[in-house]
Amino acid sequence: MDESSISRARKAVSPKAILFTLGAIGALAVLKSSILMTDAGYTYVHQNNITGALDVFTEPGIHVRMPFLSKITRYDQVVTVSFGNNQGEAFYQRLPSLQVRFADTYTGQVPATFRFKLSHSPEQIIQMHREFRSNDNLIETMLIKNARNVTVITATQYTGEEFFQGGLNQFKAQLADQLSNGIYTTERRQVEVEQVDLVPVGFDQDDSNKLQATKQLVWKTIPVTDSTGQPVRQDNPLSQYGITVTQVTIGDPQPEDQLDKLLTDKKKLVAERIRTIQEQETSKAQAKTEQLRKEIQRTREVQDAQRAKELAVISQQKEVEIARQIAERELVEERKKKEIAALSKAKELEMAQANLEIQKANAAAAAFEAKAIRETGIAEAEVLAAKYKALGTYEKIYTAEMNRDVAKVLYQNLPNFKVEMPQNYIGGNGGMTSNLDVITGFSALGLMEKSKELSQQSKQ
């Protein structure tokens, strides 16, 4: 372009156009500086430098601000701090994993991610802004340091083996609790902890496939509790600003080389132990199987012998039962015979007793008759005595007459008696026997024989 052309262009742009353009640009700048457009997920603090007033905006919208003489500070409403994890904002991915030291002096790298949520209270936001003045400063001096501090303190409450052998979940719960509600007030104390060791291999134990718990004294930081058993806490620095912990996640922790070697050696020992135990269990199972097979065979033989024994016992019991029934039948027959015999004997006894009564009556009658006869004989004897006394000289005649009278009386009474001679003898007592003595003697002998027969029948 030549000089003539430039001069013609300058003449074409008037001063009014320049002033209008500058005015428009200035108006746009003032308008832009007077309006604040807020986005969701952020908290804005508007500082009026003329009055010193602070305004807080937590919701998306359009707000009026003091142009050129105000300052806007933006805070993330939700902040994610990541140590050693590929999560969160790009600024926080540069943080390494947390280096912690456990109660047994072992160390480890613990990757963790913490999610914080800011308060919506204007008073708490203004207080936070006064102390930290920027979002990055809040994260670096408050959130990151507090998360690292609580993680390191919580790790001292665990041993390395305890942490890497199942204590990670409890560690995470305590870490979240202390971040949200305050760090425990602790004291260093020597405590007894349980560690898992191997049970010695042996053939005489049933629980050889288990690990045994051994106890060891270590120094740990133990939370101090109050009278109700709740842990005593220190002041939570997040609570005064209304910041809450919404999430705590723990990645894959890495132990130091020495601890890792210890855990690896224990894994190898456990693997070898498991293999040894499997061999033992296989041998035990085979031995038990063989023993069970023998037990089954022995049980079968015992059952067969028992069955044969039971059959023999049943056969013997059957024979015994048959013999018993036969014996009972014979016993019943014998009892029946005895009862019939007893009845017969009782009947005979009754008849004998009746006969005895009859005989007694007959004997009494005979005795009365004999007495009457005796009285008569005595009277006759007295008459004869008087007669023969007078006729003393006729003794032989008198004796012949007497024998005649005795023979006569004897033949009259013989039908009721059976006389067997010479079983009985009736004689006088040194004197002459009268007819009355003979008759009385025979009557008594007859009664005695009859009573003797009745007695023998009753005994039979």
Q: Rounded to an integer, what distance in angstroms lies between the CA atom of residue 210 and that of residue 275? A: 13
Q: Burial level of 147, CB count in 10 A (0-12/13-18/19+)?
A: buried
Q: What is the pLDDT of residue 268?
A: 74
**91 has pLDDT over 50:** no
Please state, for a pLDDT cut of 90, what percent of the chain lies above it.
Answer: 1
The long-range contacts involving 449-453, CB below 8 angstroms and separated by at least 24 positions, are 449/418, 450/359, 451/356, 451/359
Q: What is the pLDDT of residue 283?
A: 76
Name, in order, each residue with C-beta under 8 angstroms of 196's C-beta and a sequence gap of 6 or more: 161, 165, 211, 212, 213, 214, 266
Q: What is the pLDDT of residue 116?
A: 93
Please state, for a pLDDT cut of 70, what percent of the chain lies above it.
Answer: 72
Quick one: which of 219, 188, 261 has its CA closest to 103?
219
Least confident range from 176-180, 284-288, 296-300: namely 284-288
Q: What value does the mean pLDDT take over residues 185-201? A: 66
Q: Compare 46 and 274 and report the one with higher pLDDT.
A: 46
Tokens of 221: 């930081």
Name, in order, each residue with C-beta under 8 angstroms of 185's C-beta and a sequence gap of 6 or more: 223, 224, 231, 232, 233, 234
Name, in order, each residue with C-beta under 8 angstroms of 26's C-beta and a sequence gap of 6 or more: none
CA angle 175/178/182 to nearest 5° reads: 165
Tokens of 176: 């979240």
Q: Rounded to an integer, what distance in angstroms lies between the CA atom of residue 169 and that of residue 167? A: 6
Q: What value does the mean pLDDT take over residues 235-241? A: 86
**350 has pLDDT over 60:** yes
Q: Compare 345 and 242 and report the one with higher pLDDT.
A: 242
- 88 with 69: CB under 8 angstroms? no
Alpha-helical regions (H) of 231-256: none
Q: What is the pLDDT of residue 58?
A: 83
- For the entire predicted model, the pTM comes to 0.50
Dump pLDDT digits (tens) for 417-445.
565 555 555 565 555 566 666 677 767 77
Q: Compare 446 and 335 and report the one with higher pLDDT.
A: 335
**148 has pLDDT over 70:** yes
- 310 with 318: CB under 8 angstroms? no
Phi, psi for 446 (deg, rounded to 5): -65, -45
User: Would you place residue 347 in the very low, low, confident or very high pLDDT band (cuts 50, 70, 90)?
Assistant: confident
**203 has pLDDT over 50:** no
CA angle 19/20/26 to nearest 5° reads: 90
**85 has pLDDT over 80:** no
Q: Compare 296 and 435 and report the one with higher pLDDT.
A: 296
Dump pLDDT digits (tens) for 98-145.
888 888 788 888 898 999 999 888 898 889 888 888 888 888 888 998
Cα torsion angle, 170, 172, 178, 180, sign: negative
Chain-centre distance for alpha carbon 340: 69
Name, in order, each residue with C-beta under 8 angstroms of 222's C-beta and a sequence gap of 6 or more: 157, 186, 187, 188, 189, 191
**216 has pLDDT over 70:** no
Q: Rounded to an integer, what distance in angstroms lies between the CA atom of residue 325 and that of residue 332? A: 10
Dump pLDDT digits (tens) for 360-419.
877 777 778 778 777 877 877 777 677 667 666 666 776 777 778 777 777 777 666 565
Amino acid at 222: I
For 146, which DSSP code?
Answer: H
**3 has pLDDT over 80:** no
**275 has pLDDT over 80:** no
Cα torsion angle, 133, 136, 141, 144, sign: positive
Q: What is the pLDDT of residue 89?
A: 46
Q: How far apart, in Å, are the Cα atoms of 380 and each of 126, 397, 436?
A: 179, 17, 10
* Beta bridge mates, 82: 113
Average pLDDT, the chain: 76
Question: Order of strands, edge to edge, in the sheet holding 42-48?
Answer: 54-57, 42-48, 70-76
- 58 with 119: CB under 8 angstroms? no
Question: Order of strands, edge to edge, in the sheet holding 244-250?
Answer: 78-83, 112-117, 244-250
